[in-house]
C-alpha cells in the first residue's frame, strides 16, 4: 500500500460521517493487540486550545529526554501531521504501513459481521499502533470531538487536561454549556488527576465528575493561577508566571500569542508539574525549554510575506473568534485589516461575523474546500463592512495582497479546512516561509 492508497482507503470511510461511540474502536484495537496499553498517555480535550496544549506538553516531555508520540486533528495540509513521534511527522511509507495494518484488522472486524470503523477511528487505531511500534514512553492524545464517546477515550491516561468549554459541535455535544461540559468531562478516569481552565457551569460539571471518579482536580483560579509578565523586545513571544496552591512558581516564555495561550500554557504547566511529582527527569528547566520552543502553526501565526504583515488563524467558533480579536488588539492595536474569510455552513457564523468584523474592514469571502462550506454570496450581505465574494481561496488571497498597503494586516481567518489551500498557495506563489 502506498501513501496515496492509504489516504484513499481511509477517506472512503468518511461516507459514514461522524459516528460517536466506542464499540468499533474497542473491537478494532482488540484485534491489533491493544497497542495503546504499551505506553503512558496524556489525554487532552476542550473546545479551543487542546491542540496547543497537546503541542506544549509534547515539547516539554521531549525536552526532558522522553520519546514522545503526539496525535492531533484535524490536519492543515497532510494526514501525516496527525501522527508525530520524536520530533518528526510520520513518514509517508510508515503511514501507509500503519493504515495497511489497520485495514487487516478492519477486514477481520467486518468479516465477523461487525460494523466498519469510521475514518477517525481508523486513524486513531493507526496512531496507537504506530506509537507502540516506535516504542514511545508517552503519547499525548488530543480528543477529536467531545470526549465521552470520542474514539480516543479508550485510554487510561496519567493525567487528563480539559481546556475551555464553549459552544461548538452542538449537534454532537449538546446545546447547553452543561451538556457540552458533560461530554468533555467524560475523559476523566478513576483516580487520574485532571487539569482544567474551564469556569462557571462547565467547571461545576467537571468538578462533579472528578469527585465521582475520586480524581484530583486542578482548576484555574483554584488549583493554579497565571499572570502575564512584562513584555520584552521580542513581539513574537509572551512570558507568563504560573503559580500553584502548593506554593510552586514557574516563569515560562511562549512563542504562541494571546491571552488564551496564557491559559493554555498554564494548563500545560500544571499538568507537567503534576507529572513531575513522580518523574525526576521532568525538571523545571525541561518544562521551560520545551514550552519556549513549541511550534503550533495556524494559530495566530504571524508572518511577513513579500513585505506585508500576514496573520493565519484557525478561528472557527465563537470562542476562537473572541480569542482572535483580543490577540489582534494586543499585537496590532488598531492597524487596518484585510480579511480572507471562509466558514462552514453548520457553524454559528452569524455570531462570529458580528464579533469579528469592524466597519472599516475589507473582506474577501471564499468557499471552504469542503462540501459543508457556506456560500460566499450568502455570507457577504451579512457582513458589517465591505465584502466581496470570491470563487476560490486562491482568488481571495491574490485580491487581499493586491489591495493591501504596508500599513494593512492581511488576516487569513476561519475554518481550519481552508488552511491547507492557503498555506500551500502562500508557499508556492508568494514564497512564504511557513
Q: pLDDT digit string (tens) for 248-304?
A: 999 999 999 999 999 999 999 999 999 999 999 999 999 999 999 999 999 899 999
Closest CA to 429 of 394, 389, 405: 394
Count of helices and strands (H, E) across the chain: 15, 17
Q: What residues does 243 pair with on adjacent strands? A: 225, 249
Q: What angle do CA 36, 40, 42 make, to 5 degrees?
A: 95
Grid cell of 118 as nine digits: 469510521
Closest CA to 313 of 290, 339, 279, 280: 339
Q: Dump pLDDT digits (tens) for 345-399.
A: 887 788 889 999 999 999 999 999 888 899 999 999 999 999 999 999 999 999 9
Separation of alpha carbons 41 and 156, rounded Å: 7
Contact present, 12 and 106 (Cβ < 8 Å) = no
Whether 159 has a pLDDT exceeding 90, the answer reads: yes
What are the residues whose beta carbons fall under 8 Å from the beta carbon of 160, sequence distance 6 or more? 42, 43, 44, 45, 187, 188, 189, 192, 193, 194, 195, 215
What pLDDT is attached to residue 18? 63
Contact present, 349 and 365 (Cβ < 8 Å) = no
Domains of the chain with bracketed CATH: 3-293 (3.40.1190.10), 301-430 (3.90.190.20)
Average pLDDT, the chain: 94
Task: Scan for cell 468557499, then name that residue.
Answer: 367
What are the residues whose beta carbons fall under 8 Å from the beta carbon of 195, sequence distance 6 or more? 159, 160, 161, 162, 218, 219, 223, 224, 267, 270, 271, 274
Q: Dump pLDDT digits (tens) for 161-179.
A: 999 998 765 566 677 999 9
pTM of the entire predicted model? 0.92
Whether 308 has a pLDDT exceeding 90, the answer reads: yes
What are the residues whose beta carbons fall under 8 Å from the beta carbon of 277, sequence distance 6 or more? none
Measured from the Cβ of residue 345, the count of other Cβ atoms closer than 10 Å reads: 14
Contact present, 182 and 198 (Cβ < 8 Å) = no
Confidence of residue 80 (pLDDT cuts 50, 70, 90): very high
What pLDDT is attached to residue 168? 64
Rounded percentage of the chain residues whose pLDDT exceeds 90: 85
Q: What residues does 252 pair with on adjacent strands? A: 240
What pLDDT is attached to residue 169? 58
What pLDDT is attached to residue 370? 84
Measured from the Cβ of residue 87, the count of other Cβ atoms closer than 10 Å reads: 11
> Which of 182-186's residues contact partners 24+ apart within 8 Å by CB, and which partners?
182/148, 182/209, 183/146, 183/147, 183/148, 183/149, 184/45, 184/46, 184/47, 184/146, 184/147, 184/148, 185/147, 185/148, 185/209, 185/210, 186/146, 186/147, 186/148, 186/149, 186/150, 186/153
Whether 20 has a pLDDT exceeding 90, the answer reads: no
Rounded percentage of the chain residues whose pLDDT exceeds 70: 97
Rg for the chain (alpha carbons), in Å?
21
Using DSSP's 3-state secondary structure scheme, residue 29 falls into helix
Task: Scan for cell 461545576, then name that residue.
Answer: 204
Amino acid at each position: 500500500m502506498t501513501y496515496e492508497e492509504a489516504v484513499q482507503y481511509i477517506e472512503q470511510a468518511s461516507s459514514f460521517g461522524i459516528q460517536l461511540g466506542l464499540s468499533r474502536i474497542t473491537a478494532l484495537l482488540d484485534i491489533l493487540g491493544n497497542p495503546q496499553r504499551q505506553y503512558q498517555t496524556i489525554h487532552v480535550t476542550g473546545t479551543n486550545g487542546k491542540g496547543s496544549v497537546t503541542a506544549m506538553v509534547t515539547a516539554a516531555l521531549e525536552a526532558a529526554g522522553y520519546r514522545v508520540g503526539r496525535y492531533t486533528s484535524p490536519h492543515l495540509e497532510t494526514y501525516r501531521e496527525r501522527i508525530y513521534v520524536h520530533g518528526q511527522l510520520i513518514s509517508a511509507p510508515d503511514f501507509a504501513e500503519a493504515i495497511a495494518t489497520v485495514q487487516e484488522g478492519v477486514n477481520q472486524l467486518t468479516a465477523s459481521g461487525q460494523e466498519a470503523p469510521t475514518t477517525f477511528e481508523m486513524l486513531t487505531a493507526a496512531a496507537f499502533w504506530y506509537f507502540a511500534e516506535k516504542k514511545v514512553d508517552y503519547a499525548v492524545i488530543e480528543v477529536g470531538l467531545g470526549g465521552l464517546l470520542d474514539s480516543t477515550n479508550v485510554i487510561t491516561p496519567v493525567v487528563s487536561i480539559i481546556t475551555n468549554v464553549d459552544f461548538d459541535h452542538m449537534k454532537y455535544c449538546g446545546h447547553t454549556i452543561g451538556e457540552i461540559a458533560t461530554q468533555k468531562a467524560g475523559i476523566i478516569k478513576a483516580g487520574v488527576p485532571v487539569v482544567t481552565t474551564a469556569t462557571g457551569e462547565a467547571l461545576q460539571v467537571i468538578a462533579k465528575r472528578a469527585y465521582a471518579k475520586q480524581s484530583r482536580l486542578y482548576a484555574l483560579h483554584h488549583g493554579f493561577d497565571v499572570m502575564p509578565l512584562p513584555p520584552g523586545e521580542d513581539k513574537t513571544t509572551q512570558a507568563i508566571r504560573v503559580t500553584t496552591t502548593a506554593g510552586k512558581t514557574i516563569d515560562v516564555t511562549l512563542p504562541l500569542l494571546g491571552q488564551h495561550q496564557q491559559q493554555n500554557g498554564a494548563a500545560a504547566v500544571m499538568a507537567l508539574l503534576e507529572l513531575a511529582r513522580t518523574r525526576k527527569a521532568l525538571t523545571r528547566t525541561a518544562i521551560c525549554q520545551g514550552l519556549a520552543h513549541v511550534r503550533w502553526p495556524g494559530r495566530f501565526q504571524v508572518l511577513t510575506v513579500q513585505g506585508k504583515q500576514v496573520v493565519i488563524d484557525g478561528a472557527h467558533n465563537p470562542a476562537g473568534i473572541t480569542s482572535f480579536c483580543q490577540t489582534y488588539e494586543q499585537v496590532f492595536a488598531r492597524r487596518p485589516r484585510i480579511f480572507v474569510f471562509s466558514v462552514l455552513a453548520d457553524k454559528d457564523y452569524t455570531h462570529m461575523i458580528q464579533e469579528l468584523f469592524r466597519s472599516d474592514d475589507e473582506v474577501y469571502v471564499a468557499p471552504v474546500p469542503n462540501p459543508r462550506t457556506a456560500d460566499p454570496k450568502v455570507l457577504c450581505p451579512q457582513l458589517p463592512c465591505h465584502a466581496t465574494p470570491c470563487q476560490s481561496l486562491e482568488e481571495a488571497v491574490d485580491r487581499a495582497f493586491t489591495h493591501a498597503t504596508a500599513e494593512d494586516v492581511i488576516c487569513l481567518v476561519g475554518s481550519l479546512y481552508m488552511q491547507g489551500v492557503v498555506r500551500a498557495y502562500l508557499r508556492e506563489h508568494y514564497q512564504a516561509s511557513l
